[in-house]
Amino acid sequence: MSWLEKHPAVHRVLLILYYFAIIVALILMYGRGDFSTQPFVYQGF
């Protein structure tokens, strides 16, 4: 029996933190929006 199996509460907390880290990583990766526009130079000035 491993140490984690002997401490189920710690196991659960670690699992939650693991999934939380995945969600945070996803937010960091895809949370930055692309607000650029298609190349366009206004020539009316």
Partner 1 sequence: MARVHANKEMPHLFAGLIALGVAGTILFAAGMAVIHLERSTIPSTAPDLFLLKNQGVAFQRAAAHAPNVLPIYGSSELLVPAAPERGNIFFRTAPTGFQLSPVGGGGTTPLIMSQKVAALSSDLRGKELAISLSPGWFFAAKPGWRGYTGNFSLMAASEMAFGTALDFELKRDIASRMLECPSTLEKSPLLEFALRRLASGRLVDRTIFCVLWPLGKAQTALLELQDHRAALNHIRREIKPAPQRHPEVLDWPKLIARVEATKTTDWAKVSKASGLNVQITPGSRDVAFRNGVKASASWADLELLLRTLERVHARPLILSMPIAGDFYDHAGVSRSAREEYYTKLRALVQRYHFAVVEFEEHDEDPAFLIRHQSHLTAKGWAYYDRALDDFFHGRMPRS
Q: Is residue 10 near partner 1 by the rule CB under 8 A?
A: no
* Region label for 13, one of left (φ > 0), alpha (ψ between -120 and 50) or beta (otherwise): alpha
Q: Is residue 35 near partner 1 by the rule CB under 8 A?
A: yes
With contacts defined by CB under 8 A, how many residues of the chain interact with partner 1?
Answer: 26
Nearer to partner 1, 1 or 31 (CB): 31
φ, ψ of residue 42 in degrees (nearest 5): -70, 125
d(CA 18, CA 13): 9
Residues that bind partner 1 (CB under 8 A): 11-12, 15-20, 22-24, 27, 30-40, 42, 44-45
